[in-house]
């Protein structure tokens, strides 16, 4: 009987996924629900045939240089692969996979939730009834937010998630605009009634709400730089459910403080789990809504992600190309 491959899983996964993995592989699980240290990861790659990391594990060139010859596959539990030095992994003959598709709708839902929550002051309103202060009752001029219907939404990154956001936005009466490396297929553009902007600067200057839905790559790091953020109108809002690194977080916080933009809804941060104290202060003041990286956090989604990881490992171990292989040229 063939030896089961050693699969090191860096974080606690849904129980059903762990059970299924144990049937198929020689699973080494990180027992506590916190990230492995760099030292523990270094030990893990010496023995693992397959590594299953998450967004909280940095799989960089230094770590990969410690890997033994037996490490052949890194099956990321997650869609974004900015935690992995894919080019170095591939150079060393290691295949990398991710979990695309299964978290598209959940992440788009959370994006839409923030698009609604910030202009309509949802978090602030919810606090009124749970804080010690009394609610004095309805008033015609109290807790007024801004209408989103009829406004212009600019989506940065029109991949699966961007398109899913666009579909929702259309249903809420928003006009959809987008910036992407390239124009999407005419059929999709037509379905979404979406306007393409080749120039991100020009799009930013005309939007009411901007949503970041692109991956974090060297090309998108601080894509929303201090200079670009200045293009935004003071009445505009910004939502990010992609990666914190795409926005210069400090510059954004400064602009929010100075009322140079109206508000922000952020699910991701530049230095997770640290959050810029200025943003926390602004959240307490009701100007921004902060979520702790929950975009894809559904019970169903995590199981789907786990199943994708299993399929990728199994297919690879059976000698075939795994369905969700990531190549450096795709980034
Ligand atoms: C996951 C995410 O929670 O998949 C991604 O890219 O950001 C999240 O939805 C996380 O990455 C799991 O590793």
Task: Answer whether residue 60 is part of any domain.
Answer: yes
Residue 152's domain comprises: 104-290
Cis geometry, peptide bond prior to residue 273 (ω within 30 degrees of 0): yes
Find the catalytic residue in 222, 233, 293, 325.
293
- Is it the case that residue 25 has pLDDT exceeding 80? yes
The number of folded domains in the chain is: 2
Among 111, 52, 38, residue whose Cα is nearest residue 268? 111
Task: Answer whether residue 1 is part of any domain.
Answer: no
Q: How far apart are CA 100 and CA 78, in angstroms?
A: 8
CA angle 131, 135, 136 (to 5 degrees): 155
Q: Is the CB–ligand 1 distance for residue 296 below 6 Å?
A: yes
- Note whether 91 and 232 are same-domain residues: no
Residue 69: give its domain's CATH number.
Answer: 3.40.50.720
- Note whether 255 and 308 are same-domain residues: no
- Note whether 119 and 93 are same-domain residues: no
Task: Answer whether residue 30 is part of any domain.
Answer: yes
Among 250, 146, 267, 269, residue whose Cα is nearest residue 208? 146
Convert the pLDDT of each residue in 231-240 to its tens digit: 999 999 999 9
- Note whether 21 and 138 are same-domain residues: no
- Note whether 115 and 129 are same-domain residues: yes
* Ligand 1 atom nearest to 53, measured from its CA: 13
- Tokens representing residue 71 in the block: 């490490």
* pTM of this prediction exceeds 0.90: yes
Find the catalytic residue in 243, 245, 249, 270.
243
What is the layout of strands, in order, in the sheet containing 209-212? 194-196, 175-179, 152-156, 209-212, 237-240, 263-266, 288-290
Q: Is the CB–ligand 1 distance for residue 55 below 6 Å?
A: yes
Task: Answer whether residue 41 is part of any domain.
Answer: yes
Q: Residue 7 — φ and ψ, nearest 5°? A: -115, 115
- Note whether 219 and 111 are same-domain residues: yes
Task: Answer whether residue 124 is part of any domain.
Answer: yes
Task: Answer whether residue 243 is part of any domain.
Answer: yes
- Cα end-to-end span (Å), the chain: 39
Q: What is the ipTM of this complex?
A: 0.95
Other C-beta atoms within 10 Å of 206: how many? 15
Convert the pLDDT of each residue in 158-167 to its tens digit: 999 999 999 9
Q: How far apart are CA 152 and CA 176, in angstroms?
A: 6
- Note whether 144 and 286 are same-domain residues: yes
Q: How far apart are CA 262 and CA 235, in angstroms?
A: 5
- Note whether 92 and 13 are same-domain residues: yes
CA–centroid distance, residue 146 to ligand 1 (Å) = 31
What's 255's DSSP letter? H
Please give the share of the chain, as a percent, with pLDDT higher than 90: 95
> Is 293 assigned a catalytic role?
yes
Which is more confident, 266 or 128?
266
Task: Answer whether residue 133 is part of any domain.
Answer: yes
- Note whether 277 and 158 are same-domain residues: yes
Provide the pLDDT for residue 1: 65
- Is it the case that residue 113 has pLDDT exceeding 70? yes
- Note whether 253 and 237 are same-domain residues: yes
Alpha carbon distances (Å) from 137 to 120, 123, 126, 140, 284: 18, 18, 14, 10, 22
* Displacement of CA 263 from its chain's centroid (Å): 19
Provide the pLDDT for residue 131: 85
- Note whether 120 and 64 are same-domain residues: no
Q: How far apart are CA 172 and CA 21, in angstroms?
A: 41
CA–centroid distance, residue 104 to ligand 1 (Å) = 11
Find the catalytic residue in 18, 272, 307, 325.
272
- Tokens representing residue 190 in the block: 């037509």
Task: Answer whether residue 238 is part of any domain.
Answer: yes
Convert the pLDDT of each residue in 284-306 to its tens digit: 999 999 999 999 999 999 999 99
Convert the pLDDT of each residue in 202-255 to its tens digit: 999 999 999 999 999 999 999 999 999 999 999 999 999 999 999 999 999 999
* Ligand 1 atom nearest to 301, measured from its CA: 9
- Note whether 88 and 199 are same-domain residues: no
Average pLDDT over residues 120-141: 91
Q: What is the DSSP secondary-structure string of 113-176? A: HHHHHTTTTHHHHHHHHHSSSPP----TTSS-----TT-EEEEE--SHHHHHHHHHHHHTTPEE
- Is it the case that residue 30 has pLDDT exceeding 90? no
Q: Is the CB–ligand 1 distance for residue 295 below 6 Å?
A: yes
């Amino acid at each position: 009987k063939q030896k089961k491959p050693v699969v090191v899983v860096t974080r606690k996964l849904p129980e059903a996924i762990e059970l299924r993995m144990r049937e198929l592989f020689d699973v080494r699980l990180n027992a506590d629900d916190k990230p492995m240290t760099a030292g523990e990861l270094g030990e893990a790659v010496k023995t693992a045939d397959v590594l299953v990391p998450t967004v909280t594990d940095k799989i960089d060139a230094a770590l990969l240089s410690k890997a033994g010859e037996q490490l052949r596959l890194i099956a990321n539990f997650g869609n974004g692969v900015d935690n992995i030095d894919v080019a170095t992994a591939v150079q060393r003959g290691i295949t990398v996979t991710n979990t695309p598709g299964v978290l598209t709708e959940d992440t788009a839902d959370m994006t839409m939730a923030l698009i609604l929550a910030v202009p309509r002051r949802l978090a602030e309103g919810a606090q009124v009834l749970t804080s010690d202060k009394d609610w004095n009752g309805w008033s015609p001029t109290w807790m007024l937010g801004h209408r989103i219907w009829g406004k212009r939404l600019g989506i940065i990154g029109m991949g699966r998630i961007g398109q899913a956001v666009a579909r929702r936005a259309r249903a809420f009466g928003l006009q959809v605009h987008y910036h992407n490396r390239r124009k999407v297929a005419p059929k999709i553009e037509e379905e979404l009634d979406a306007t393409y902007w080749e120039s991100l600067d020009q799009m930013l200057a005309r939007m009411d709400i901007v949503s970041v839905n692109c991956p974090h790559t060297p090309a998108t790091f601080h894509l929303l730089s201090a200079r670009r953020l200045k293009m935004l109108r003071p009445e505009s809002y910004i939502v990010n459910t992609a990666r914190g690194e795409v926005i210069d977080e400090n510059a954004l916080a400064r602009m929010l403080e100075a009322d140079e933009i109206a508000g922000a809804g952020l699910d991701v941060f530049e230095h997770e789990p640290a959050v810029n104290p200025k943003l926390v202060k602004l959240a307490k003041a009701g100007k921004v809504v902060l979520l702790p990286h929950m975009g894809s956090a559904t019970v169903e989604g995590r199981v789907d992600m786990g199943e994708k990881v299993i399929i990728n490992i199994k297919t690879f171990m059976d000698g075939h190309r795994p369905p969700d292989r990531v190549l450096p040229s795709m980034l």
